[in-house]
Amino acid sequence: MKKFSLFLLAIIAAILLAACGNEKSGDSNTKEKVKVKIGVNGSDGVQWPILKEKAAKEGIEIELVEFADYTLPNNALANGDIDLNAFQHMAFLAQYVNESGNDIVPIGSTMFAPLGVYSEKIKDISDIKKGDKIAIPDDPSNQARALRLLEAAKLITLTDDFGLFGDPSKIAENPLNLDIIPMVAQQTPRVLPDVTAAIINNGVAGQAGFSPGEDPIFKESGDNESTYPYVNIIAARAKDKDNKAFKRILELYQEDDIKNAVTEDTKGGSLLVVLSQEELNKTFEKLLK
Q: What is the mean pLDDT of residues 36-42?
A: 94
For domain 116-220, give the fold.
D-Maltodextrin-Binding Protein; domain 2 (3.40.190)
Q: Is the pLDDT of residue 7 over 70?
A: no
CATH architecture, domain 34-113+226-287: 3-Layer(aba) Sandwich (3.40)
pLDDT reported for residue 18: 47
> Is the distance from CB of 39 to CB of 87 less than 8 angstroms?
yes
* Residue 38 clears pLDDT 50, i.e. is over it: yes
pLDDT of 139 > 50? The answer is: yes
Is 58 or 7 the better-scoring residue by pLDDT?
A: 58
Which has more pLDDT, 26 or 257?
257
Query: Average pLDDT for residues 281-285, to the nearest whole number?
Result: 94
**Per-residue pLDDT for 30 more than 70?**
no
Strand-strand pairing, 104-112 and 231-237: antiparallel
163 contacts 144 by C-beta, under 8 angstroms: yes
C-alpha–C-alpha distance, residues 89 and 106, integer Å: 9
**If you count them, how many residues does the chain have?**
289
Decide if 34-113+226-287 and 116-220 have a common fold: yes
What's the chain's average pLDDT? Answer: 88
Is 36 in contact with 247 (CB distance < 8 Å)? no
Tell me the average pLDDT across 193-210: 92
d(CA 271, CA 262): 7
- The answer to whether residue 272 scores a pLDDT higher than 70 is yes
Rounded to whole angstroms, what are the CA distances from 241 to 87, 108, 232?
Answer: 17, 10, 16
Task: Spell out the domain ranges in the chain.
Answer: 34-113+226-287, 116-220
Spatial distance between the Cα atoms of 106 and 235, rounded to a whole number of angstroms: 4
149-193 pLDDT per residue, tens: 999 999 999 999 998 889 999 999 999 999 999 999 999 999 999
- Reply yes or no on whether the pLDDT at 267 is more than 90: no
Higher pLDDT, 12 or 208: 208
pLDDT cut 70: percent of the chain above it? 88
Q: Is residue 23 over pLDDT 80?
A: no
How many other C-beta atoms can be found within 10 angstroms of the C-beta atom of residue 165?
Answer: 17
Whole-model pTM? 0.70
Rounded mean pLDDT of 136-143? 90
What confidence tens digit (pLDDT) does each residue in 210-259 have?
A: 988 899 999 987 666 778 899 999 999 999 999 999 999 999 999 999 99
What pLDDT shows up at residue 61?
98
Greatest mean pLDDT among 72-86, 199-213, 214-228 lies in 72-86
pLDDT score recorded for residue 177: 98
